[in-house]
Amino acid sequence: MDAPPLSTSFPTSGAGRYAPSPSGDLHLGNLRTAILAWVLARRSGRAFRLRIEDLDRVREGSEQRQLEDLAALGLDWDGEVVRQSARGTAYDAAIEHLRTRDQVFECYCTRREILEAPSAPHAPPGAYPGTCRDLTEAEREAGRERMRQLRREPALRLRADVTTWTVQDLWAGEVHGMVDDLVLRRGDGVVAYNLAVVVDDAAAGVDQVTRADDLLSSAPRQAHLARLLGLAEPRYAHVPLAVNPAGARLAKRDGAVTLRDRLEQGETAADVVGRIGESLGLPGCRTASDVLERWDPSDLPRDPWIVDLPDR
């Protein structure tokens, strides 16, 4: 099956989205976030877009399996599936837009150098310390020569013009976050996540970003980047993570935590939706449409979802 049935009605404006990376099967936390993103979009009359974030790790067959799993839970989406690997021209144009405004600079630092460099007061560990932001031309040429010796290209970074930015989140409210000179294109030539998602969301008309709350700290810098690109800033809805009984972020190593794992354990897709519904205080759900009909976003649990699944 190439894709589930597509919706035939398109709202006049606005969209939500789900954007998995095809690095393996989706686990229960991923599926819960997908359902919530779909419900929030559909309930507000928005379109629902699906994007495959395949700029980094790609496991053969994962994309197809993910599409099938989402369809099995009752999710559909509007328009064609977008793949980031086909969006290079749009990313290049965004970087050029910033470059013409002197908002891009080359960075010659290695990851270790950044981690070991003294940080600004109150900056989190590993925050970019501004090493290459204001180099002389001679210093830049020395940096390029060093990169040639390392057989790498300089990374391209944003010359941020603020240090903080504020976004609105459906549950967290007003969120103030740090903005730094984030990477736009890595030294290996791959566009950075923060740029790609901003450009892709705007191109798809996404004005509602629903995702796990481990990405909440990224929202201010992404919103600020959108503003610099002349794009509308989306509103955010960050949902609590799914974690294992030890409190660590849920991962495939935690056992039978994917839909296909649960099917092998004798459960059905409806049983899996039921588990997700119970995590939202909605017992008896069998499809994503059940969650759509019954879930009140104001009742979202604020604590992480502890997933403890006995194998049969």
Q: Which residues are catalytic?
A: 252
Contact (Cβ atoms closer than 8 angstroms) between residue 294 and residue 278:
no
Cα-flanking dihedrals φ and ψ of residue 90, to 5°?
-65, -40
108 belongs to an annotated ligand binding site: no
- Around 89, how many Cα atoms within 13 Å sit in the side-chain half-sphere? 2
Classified as helix, coil or strand, 201 is: helix
Quick one: which of 51, 64, 54, 76 has its CA closest to 25?
Answer: 64
**Sheet of 155-158, strands arranged across:** 104-107, 155-158, 183-185
The answer to whether the annotation marks 19 as part of a ligand binding site is yes
Asked if 235 and 207 count as a contact pair (C-beta separation under 8 A), the reply is: yes
Alpha-helical (H) ranges within the chain are 28-43, 62-72, 88-99, 111-116, 137-149, 193-203, 219-228, 259-264, 269-279, 288-294
132 a known binding residue? yes
Q: How many residues does the chain have?
A: 312
Helix (H, G, I), strand (E, B) or coil at 129: coil
252 is annotated as contributing to ligand binding: yes
Binding site annotation covers 107? yes
Contact (CB, 8 A) for 203 and 232: no
Give the whole-angstrom CA distance, residue 268 versus residue 206.
32
Number of alpha helices (DSSP H) and beta strands (DSSP E) in the chain: 10, 12
Residue 211, annotated ligand binder?
yes
21 assigned to a ligand binding site: yes
Which backbone phi and psi does 143 adopt, to 5 degrees?
-65, -40
Is 7 annotated for ligand binding? no
* φ, ψ (nearest 5 deg) of residue 300: -60, 125
Answer yes or no: are the C-beta atoms of 186 and 132 closer than 8 Å.
no
109 in a labelled binding site: yes
Q: Which residues are annotated as a binding site for ATP?
A: 252
Q: Which residues are annotated as a binding site?
A: 17-21, 53, 107, 109, 128, 132, 193, 211, 252
Q: Which residues are annotated as a binding site for L-glutamate?
A: 17-21, 53, 193, 211
Q: Which residues are annotated as a binding site for Zn(2+)?
A: 107, 109, 128, 132
